Amino acid sequence: MLKLRQMQQRKQQEKQQQSGSALVLETSLTPAQLRLRQDLASIDIPPTVLLDESDLLANSTAYMTILPDEGFYRSGTFKFSLHFKDTYPIEPPKVKCLNKIYHPNIDVSGNVCLNILREDWSPVLDLQSILVGLLLLFLEPNAKDPLNKDAAFDLQADANKFGAHVQATMRGGVLRNVRYDRVVS
Amino acid sequence: MTDLTSVSVLVLGAGGLGCEMLKNLALQGIPTVHVVDMDTIELTNLNRQFLFTEKDVGRAKVEVAAEYINSREIVGAGGQLVKVTPHFQDLTLFTRDFLAQFTFVISGLDSVEARRHVNAELVKITLESQFQKCIPFIDGASEGFKGHCKVIIPGFSACYECSLNTLPAKTETYPLCTVANNPRKPEHLIEYALMVQWPQTFPDVSFDYENPDHLHWLTEQSIDRAQSYAIDASALTPNFILGVIKNIVPSVVSTNAIIAGQCCIAMTRLLYDLYDFENSPNFSIFNGEEGAFSHSYLHSRDPNCLICGDNKQTL
């Protein structure tokens, strides 16, 4: 172990020659929390998204609100919860839509079908990727991989009719015996 | 000549890799070995975890492993008997002072989170002591025919967190839309029952795969749905279902032997100054799926690493 101990000594001398300021170390945060903090430090939030991180330290949950300014879902307010475990970023956060909405890729229980949240997740992705992914779901709902089959069928068959359904359900209307949440003010 | 009498090693995990590591360290004559694991012995462990026998089922792995090796009375460095000390507990509860007493930490864990925790603690020990202390962390891992060995010199070479982005993500394998609307495989049915049907039916109960009632419910739901999608339901046996939800990869005993052996060789090279800190490859991978492929390479430090990087204070 002589070599390692010599290396340590060299490093100690180097440190002493540098300024005497000791390293301030963050001790209370887990590696997953540190990574989240880094995500937040570098995130670029567009005006169509609100991010609420107030519950992140206490409950590992962030809230993201999507406010689309174009497309079928324009002028709606859609709230999502993102729950992070200590496995982040090896595992993606669990994302739920907190409003009951009519959307081809989001079911009425709030489950979200977005590839990067499941099969295509990778530890190099971050909060920014999820933000962009959720925003894209509202700008370009995808009828090819449906979670709400009726909505996907409507979108494929007649985009105008689909748009009318979206507008009605966003105002809290009933469609095919399901009452949706009001998400416009 | 390096004096081994004062060398002490902490082994993390007393499973497939841990048993091999303990055997190697004891036969090498390392006088002080500690081992930590919070698991008890199950029947299915016995094919590869050779320190345990059928009569030990249900007992703490660390206690049986320590008893076995101590009972062999192996003469170690300086003529003292090799002594293994068991810790039947969650390793994340160890204090930093406890960890700081060891010469090496060698891990054969099955959890990335536990490794990240230990890695962060060992890096802190180096940095807080201003490099007076430095405990090499040798991380072994195996899954099926594959494995790796990472040699981490905290504060000097790439730490576990530096290489986190190179790990495969632990993701749900199937797209949610496929399992919901277009299931083609028995696995899709199980996934749907677990992800969607269970929370709808029992919103306040979390699924427990050790509960036979829960497993029975999952089987019934999957078989029901198999009929509507013309999927062959005969595959949906309780064992198959358990394999899918627990994501079981069968352990290969010889992979464990190779990886544990490599970890102990790495420790030996450090001990006897046969390690070139600038140029020696620090990470090795092994894949025995076709022939035997192995590769060693130098993984650089990440200057922006959240745990050991020089830039992290600026956050």
In this complex, how many residue pairs, one in chain A and one in chain B, have their CB atoms less than 8 Å apart?
A: 118
Q: Residue A21: pLDDT above 80? A: no
Q: Fold for B176-245, please state it.
A: Arc Repressor Mutant, subunit A (1.10.10)
Tokens of A75: 């002028």
Query: Does the annotation count B177 as an active-site position?
Result: yes
- Collapsing DSSP states into helix, strand and coil, what is residue A109? coil
The H or E element spanning position B143 is strand B137-143
Helix, coil or strand: residue B123? helix
Q: Percent of chain A, pLDDT > 90?
A: 54
The rounded distance, in Å, linking the Cα atoms of A137 and A102 is 12
What rounded mean pLDDT belongs to chain A? 89
Helix (H, G, I), strand (E, B) or coil at B190: helix
Mind listing the pLDDT tens digit for each residue in B49-77? 999 999 999 999 999 999 999 999 999 99
| pLDDT for B199 | 87
Contact call for A119 and B271, based on CB within 8 A: no
CB contact under 8 Å between B200 and A149, yes or no, is no
Residue-range domain boundaries for chain B: 8-168+250-314, 176-245
Task: Compute the CA torsion angle B87, B89, B95, B96 (nearest 10 deg).
Answer: 70
Higher-confidence residue: B315 or A8? Answer: A8
* B280 vs A: CB within 8 A: no
Residue where the block lists tokens 């290969």 = B252
Tens digits of residue pLDDT in A45-78: 999 999 998 888 888 999 999 999 999 999 899 9
The dotted CATH code for A29-179 is 3.10.110.10
pLDDT value at A23 more than 80: no
* CA angle (B274 as vertex; B268, B278 as ends), nearest 5: 120
- Nearest-Cα distance to chain B for A32, in Å, is 9
Domain regions of chain A by residue span: 29-179
Q: Does A44 touch chain B (CB under 8 A)?
A: no
Contact A32 B155 (CB under 8 A): no
| A146/B273 touch (CB, cutoff 8 Å), yes or no | no
Q: Hey, is the C-beta of A58 within 8 angstroms of any chain B C-beta?
A: no
Which B residues, 218 through 257, put their C-beta within 8 Å of a C-beta on chain A?
none
Q: Does B277 touch chain A (CB under 8 A)?
A: yes
B91 neighbors B35 (Cβ within 8 angstroms): no
Residue bearing the bigger pLDDT, B240 or A94: A94
Q: Of the CATH numbers 3.40.640.10, 3.40.50.720, 3.50.50.60, 3.40.50.2020, which one belongs to the domain with range B8-168+250-314?
A: 3.40.50.720
Helices A127-139 & A31-42, crossing angle to 10 degrees?
A: 60
Catalytic-role residue among B162, B177, B305, B308: B177
Query: Which positions of A are catalytic?
Result: 113
B165 close to A (CB below 8 A): yes
Tokens 């709030």 belong to which residue?
A110
For the ranges A86-100, A145-159, B21-35, the lowest mean pLDDT is seen at A145-159
Stretches in chain B below the pLDDT threshold 50: 313-315
* Nearest-Cα residue of chain A relative to residue B310: A23
Residues with Cβ within 8 Å of residue A159, at least 6 apart in sequence: none
Residue A25: the pLDDT is 56
Note whether B273 contacts A105, CB cutoff 8 Å.
Answer: no
Instruction: Measure CB to CB from residue A25 to each of B124, B173, B200 and give the nearest one.
Output: B124
